[in-house]
């Protein structure tokens, strides 16, 4: 069994209080690691180490030197690729191919992409007239914001953690990371990488634990944390925002979603079925950008429901390294029960269960895992619980629509605004509909296709701010103006 400690000031530490908690395999239910829980003193030590590094060796490096080091971080992640894949599979239970082709490569890429951004980003300069005619030069400088508190989720832990750590370090900040208690392994591995390539002590710190009265609360309440970036559920984001109000710290939040998928009758049918299947069931539905509401134009509604049903019933359950497995468990027993409660609620409210709705039969070795069936419903009204509330599981409700105007209203009828996917071969329609959906990102004839230079974030209760490319710099730097009288 692994032993995972907090990573503070370049060293792995068990914590002042020596408290620990178990990491349980989502696949089998077995305890696979013992994790050190950071107390208030540990978090304080980590924040102070980050502040010392900011004012010391790390703060003295030029942007070019930071870029070189971040490239080395990315290269070392690639060198230890199998270690990261294995750790992420152990944490999440998801299939090997997802780790190998999406989560770990993206995690490494986040360091190179943001290193390139900071290397190439321009700043403003203006020549200003003055009464004496001599003029003045105004120019802008980007400076690090300071110590960044990074609170990352469990559904794509390495990818989403480095999505924040990469730009934060590229901009010259230091970080204290609080990974989810469900997925601590790759955050610890990254500490080893940081030491190997020579990132100064205190630049990257990891404190493990929970939210209230644990590492999460201690980090967000610490007065020396200058800004907080968070990915997770909206309720937690609200609590963090209250803590950040003390000291008027900046926040960047990517939170919940109840995303719509829109399929017009003229869509490439097979591509649309494949795309909605992927957006509803990838990572066992545990994707903030996933599709839980599907709207299909009436002429192809019945055909589409049947095709999606057939794909959902053909998934291969199993441990991450088993041959042919393409579908893993939920992250925890608690989350499994939450999703199953929504499955029961859908039936109580009159849903037609097209497929799924329960727990699959599994071999004895996997009975302790958090398995659940991909589930499709039809027949519910727009105010049904499973149509309104984010479930974060492998499920979707499908309803027919008759007009473009109607489906735009249906898609926007939610308190969330993270993403939408639209399937049509009509280019004019694609532009019209995409412009009218109140979300941060709309995909047309695709899903989860990301250019890391583009703005990413949500509207309404799905988040605050934008990250990606130069947009990340707006959060991770302060812009100063310098005026030189000539």
Shared domain for 213 and 342, answered yes or no, is: no
Exactly one of 72, 76, 86, 288 is catalytic; which is it? 288
Both 276 and 416 in one domain: the answer is: yes
CATH number of residue 434's parent domain: 3.40.309.10
Confidence band of 422 (pLDDT split at 50, 70, 90): very high
Q: Are residues 428 and 306 in the same domain?
A: yes
CA neighbor of 371 nearest in space, from 465, 257, 285: 285
Catalytic residue list contains 254: yes
Residue 387 and residue 428 in one domain = yes
Q: Percentage of the chain surpassing pLDDT 90?
A: 97
Give me the number of domains the chain comprises: 2
1: confidence class by pLDDT, cuts 50, 70, 90: confident
- Specify whether 63 is located in the same domain as 145: yes
pLDDT given at position 268: 98
> How many angstroms separate the CA atoms of 90 and 200, rounded?
29
**40 neighbors 213 (Cβ within 8 angstroms):** no
Residue 334's DSSP bridge partners are none
pLDDT higher than threshold 90 for residue 235:
no
Q: Residue 72's domain spans which residues?
A: 2-255+462-485
In the predicted model, what is the mean pLDDT of residues 105-118? 96
pLDDT score, position 25: 97
Residue 350 lies in a domain: yes
Residue 119 structure tokens: 């290397």
Same domain, 210 and 284: no
Q: Are 375 and 284 in contact (CB under 8 A)?
A: no
234 lies in the same domain as 287: no
Together in a domain, 156 and 304: no
**For the whole model, what pTM was predicted?**
0.95
**Residues 290, 249: one domain?**
no
**456 inside domain:** no
Burial 288-309 (b: 16+ CB within 10 A, else e): bbbbbbbbbbeebbeebbebbb
User: Does residue 86 belong to any structural domain of this protein?
Assistant: yes
434/472 same-domain check: no
Running DSSP on this structure, what letter comes out for residue 99? I
Please state, in angstroms and rounded to a whole number, the distance separating the CA atoms of residues 122 and 119: 9
Residues 399 and 279 in one domain: yes
Instruction: Look up 483 and say whether it is catalytic.
Output: no
CATH code of residue 98: 3.40.605.10
Kind plus residue range of the DSSP H or E element containing 227? strand 227-231
Residues 6+ apart with CB under 8 A from 481: 138, 139, 140, 141
Residues 237 and 360 in one domain: no
Q: 457 lies in a domain?
A: no
Could you give the CA distance from residue 277 to residue 452 in angstroms, rounded to a whole number? 24
The token pair that represents 339 in the structure block? 């999703």
Active-site residue among 37, 181, 182, 254?
254
């Amino acid at each position: 069994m692994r032993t995972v400690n907090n990573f503070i000031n370049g060293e792995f530490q068990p914590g002042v209080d020596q408290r620990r908690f178990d990491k349980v395999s989502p696949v089998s239910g077995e305890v696979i690691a013992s994790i050190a829980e950071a107390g208030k003193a540990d978090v304080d030590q980590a924040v102070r180490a980050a502040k010392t590094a900011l004012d010391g060796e790390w703060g003295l490096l030029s942007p070019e030197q930071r870029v070189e080091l971040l490239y080395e971080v990315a290269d070392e992640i690639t060198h230890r690729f199998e270690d990261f894949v294995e750790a992420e599979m152990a944490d999440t239970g998801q299939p090997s191919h997802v780790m190998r082709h999406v989560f770990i490569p993206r995690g490494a890429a986040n360091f190179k992409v943001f290193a390139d951004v900071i290397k190439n980003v321009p700043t403003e300069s203006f020549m200003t007239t003055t009464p004496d005619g001599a003029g003045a030069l105004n120019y802008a400088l980007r400076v690090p914001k300071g110590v960044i508190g990074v609170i990352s989720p469990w559904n794509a832990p390495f990818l989403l953690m480095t999505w924040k750590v990469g730009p934060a370090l590229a901009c010259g900040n230091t970080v204290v990371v609080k990974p989810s208690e469900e997925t601590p392994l790759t955050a610890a591995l990254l500490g080893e990488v940081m030491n190997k390539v020579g990132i100064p002590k205190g630049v990257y710190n990891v404190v493990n634990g929970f939210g209230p009265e644990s590492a999460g609360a201690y980090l967000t309440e610490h007065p020396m944390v200058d800004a907080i970036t968070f990915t997770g559920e909206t309720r937690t984001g609200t609590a963090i925002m209250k803590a950040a109000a003390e000291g008027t710290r900046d926040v960047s939040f990517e939170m919940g979603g109840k995303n719509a998928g829109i399929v017009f009758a003229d869509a490439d049918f097979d591509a649309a079925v494949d795309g909605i299947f992927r957006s509803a069931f990838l990572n066992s539905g545990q994707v903030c950008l996933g599709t839980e509401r599907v709207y299909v134009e009436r002429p192809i509604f019945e055909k589409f429901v049947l095709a999606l049903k057939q794909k959902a019933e053909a998934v291969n359950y199993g441990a991450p390294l088993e041959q042919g497995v393409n579908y893993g468990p939920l992250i925890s027993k608690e989350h499994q029960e939450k999703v199953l409660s929504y499955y029961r609620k859908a039936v109580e409210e009159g849903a037609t269960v097209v497929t799924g709705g329960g727990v699959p039969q599994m071999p004895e070795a996997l009975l302790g895992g958090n398995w659940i069936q991909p589930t499709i419903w039809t027949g519910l009204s727009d105010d049904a619980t499973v149509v309104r509330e984010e479930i974060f599981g492998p499920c979707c409700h499908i309803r027919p629509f008759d007009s473009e105007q109607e489906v735009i209203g249906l898609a926007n009828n939610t308190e969330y605004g993270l993403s939408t996917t639209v399937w049509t071969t009509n280019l004019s329609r694609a532009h019209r509909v995409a412009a009218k959906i109140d979300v941060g990102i709309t995909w047309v004839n695709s899903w989860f296709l990301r250019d890391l230079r583009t703005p990413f974030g949500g509207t309404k209760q799905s988040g605050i701010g934008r990250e990606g490319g130069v947009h990340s710099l707006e959060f991770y730097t302060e812009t100063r103006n310098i005026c030189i009288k000539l």
